[in-house]
Amino acid sequence: MKQYTQSIEAFKEALKHIPGGVNSPVRSFKSVDGDPLFIANARGAKVFDIDGNEYIDYVGSWGPMILGHSHPDIIMAIQKTAAKGTSFGAPTLLETEMAIQIKKMVPSIDSIRMVNSGTEATMSALRLARGYTGRELVVKFEGCYHGHNDSFLIKAGSGALTLGMPNSPGVTSGTAKDTLIARYNDLDSVKDLFIRYPDQIAAVILEPVAGNMGVVIPDLEFLKGIRELCTRYETVLIFDEVMTGFRLSKGGAQQIFGITPDLTTFGKIIGGGLPVGAYGGKQEIMDKLAPKGPVYQAGTLSGNPLAMAAGLTALKILDETEGFYDTLEEKSARLGDGIQKCLDDLKFPGVLNRIGSMFTLFFTEDAKVSSYADACRCNTTNYARFFKMALDSGVYLAPSQFEAGFMSAAHTTKKIDKTIEATYEALKVLKN
Ligand SMILES: *Cc1c(COP(=O)(O)O)cnc(C)c1O
């Protein structure tokens, strides 16, 4: 058994000063009935806690760390940039360079605005869609998470789902009534809303691959159908690619499925580990933003030079490394196939959903997990037990059934095989 005494002490102290001891809820390990690890440092695929334990990391800071932790080029870029000053509140060349790089990788983007988090990106994209269409309603999907804006904290995924609070107190009934809920992979549920509100829906927002109820993969027909409905009803289609952008391919999920949204939101990888978000898309829509247009959105630290330097370095590596996403797919397939074999060999009931470097092992008796309702039927008690055994054998997974695991370029075959072994041993214990 690993010793976690320093982390336990640190958490006790943090609880006195920080709500729930953490600055983001799902970090608390509450749903797996434990105390969170306090991280001392991380390098490559490994994180080290303050007790000196080391882990193979599949949280990856919840998505950004596709190149592994402490990538030398990114650290160097941050240090070099910091030496010149950390914020000016005036334009820098890095911001234009970043915009050009994103446009090159994601062809649906004509113009892009940088913000400071994924939450800010989706909030601003929704306001822009409303300003552009002159309509008020937004359609979101059960179990999708778009950050913690009021409009999206209704049947929300991620920590809200993990901690059993998909509808948060503090969201006014006025806001809640402007958010319509549809079911993922259920095109009829979207059609019904358009039939009821044909000229009132400003935007449909979704994770083009859901990662915040665990990984749930869309049917191509579902995505195509939504695109057609949005075109027909002149509604802005927003792909929230905060998680999938630059992860599933250079051009994100939209490239893989061949669907072009009107607006796209980014975060996570785009900041190379610093706090960044962005939203962009069709020129005609983006032109409505201030100072060119009437829709207001601003930010003191938006386009911050350190964040731009880190993000731009990350994106360039992803763009310029020959076969980057093929190699990442090979590693991810090795892990995915390995876990699937554990399930098969042990005849353990479970579903592994994987697409590229995103995966979730669902503890369910069902044959597939393709919706929020399916995800909700999972045995979270078994997940918690599995999580703890994995942690004790040196594998750091998300402390929640309803999250994605992330592979990075820094995960070696050896680490992947060790992870599969740990998975096998933990499932064997659970089986008995
Ligand atoms: C993480 C995430 C967000 C929120 O981003 P933050 O930077 O945490 O505010 C929004 N949408 C999706 C799909 C995400 O995965």
Query: In testing the pocket of ligand 1, which one of 146, 153, 265 has its CB within 8 Å of the most ligand atoms?
Result: 146
pLDDT at res. 155: 85
Query: In testing the pocket of ligand 1, which one of 119, 184, 264, 276 has its CB within 8 Å of the most ligand atoms?
Result: 119
In the chain, the amino acid numbered 377 is R
Per-residue DSSP letter, 402: T
Report field, pTM of the whole predicted structure over 0.95: yes
Question: With contact defined as beta carbons under 8 Å apart, do 289 and 327 qualify?
Answer: no
3-state secondary structure of 135: coil
Q: What is the CATH number of the domain that holds 66?
A: 3.90.1150.10
Q: What is the CATH number of the domain that holds 119?
A: 3.40.640.10
Index of the ligand 1 atom closest to the CA of residue 267: 7
Choose one of 320, 336, 370: the last residue of a domain.
320
Residue recorded with tokens 């997990």 = 369
Q: Which of 391, 384, 379, 352 is nearest to 368 (CA)?
A: 352
Catalytic residues: 145, 240, 268
Same domain, 31 and 180: no
pLDDT at res. 200: 98
Choose one of 320, 347, 382: the last residue of a domain.
320
Determine whether the shortest distance from the Cβ of 386 to ligand 1 is under 6 A: no
Determine whether the shortest distance from the Cβ of 247 to ligand 1 is under 6 A: no
Same domain, 260 and 163: yes
In the chain, the amino acid numbered 219 is D
Question: With contact defined as beta carbons under 8 Å apart, do 250 and 103 qualify?
Answer: no
Question: With contact defined as beta carbons under 8 Å apart, do 39 and 245 qualify?
Answer: no
Same domain, 331 and 300: no
Determine whether the shortest distance from the Cβ of 145 to ligand 1 is under 6 A: yes
Determine whether the shortest distance from the Cβ of 143 to ligand 1 is under 6 A: no
Same domain, 22 and 94: no
Same domain, 241 and 384: no
The span from the CA of 139 to the CA of 267, in Å, is 21
Distant-in-sequence, close-in-space partners of 19: CB < 8 Å, separation ≥ 6: none
**CA–centroid distance for 269 within its chain:** 9
Determine whether the shortest distance from the Cβ of 245 to ligand 1 is under 6 A: no
Q: How many angstroms does the Cα of residue 145 sit away from the middle of ligand 1?
A: 7
Index of the ligand 1 atom closest to the CA of residue 207: 13
For the chain, how many structural domains are there in total?
2
- Output the six-digit token pair for 396: 């750091």
Q: How many angstroms does the Cα of residue 267 sit away from the middle of ligand 1?
A: 7
Which residues span the domain enclosing 34?
A: 5-70+324-431
Same domain, 211 and 107: yes
Question: With contact defined as beta carbons under 8 Å apart, do 397 and 405 qualify?
Answer: yes
Same domain, 337 and 201: no
In the chain, the amino acid numbered 429 is V
Q: How many angstroms does the Cα of residue 383 sit away from the middle of ligand 1?
A: 23
When the pLDDT of each residue in the chain is averaged and rounded to a whole number, the result is 96
pLDDT in tens, the chain (432 residues): 899 999 999 999 999 999 999 999 999 999 898 999 999 999 999 999 999 999 999 999 999 999 999 999 999 999 999 999 999 999 999 999 999 999 999 999 999 999 999 999 999 999 999 999 999 999 999 999 999 999 999 888 777 777 776 788 888 888 989 999 999 999 999 999 999 999 999 999 999 999 999 999 999 999 999 999 999 999 999 999 999 999 999 999 999 999 999 999 999 999 999 999 999 999 999 999 999 999 999 999 999 999 999 999 999 999 999 999 999 999 999 999 999 999 999 999 999 999 999 999 999 999 999 999 999 999 999 999 999 999 999 999 999 999 999 999 999 999 999 999 999 999 999 998
Same domain, 304 and 158: yes
Q: How many angstroms does the Cα of residue 81 sit away from the middle of ligand 1?
A: 26
Same domain, 24 and 155: no
The span from the CA of 326 to the CA of 46, in Å, is 22
Determine whether the shortest distance from the Cβ of 243 to ligand 1 is under 6 A: yes
Determine whether the shortest distance from the Cβ of 122 to ligand 1 is under 6 A: yes
Choose one of 274, 301, 320: the last residue of a domain.
320
Same domain, 76 and 27: no
**CA–centroid distance for 361 within its chain:** 16
The span from the CA of 367 to the CA of 388, in Å, is 25
User: How crowded is residue 290: how many other Cβ atoms within 10 Å of its Cβ?
Assistant: 11
Same domain, 86 and 62: no
Determine whether the shortest distance from the Cβ of 117 to ligand 1 is under 6 A: yes
- Model confidence pLDDT, tens digit, residues 204-225: 999 999 999 999 999 999 999 9
**DSSP secondary structure letters along 328-346:** HHHHHHHHHHHHHHHHHHH
Same domain, 201 and 263: yes
The span from the CA of 390 to the CA of 248, in Å, is 25
pLDDT at res. 151: 93
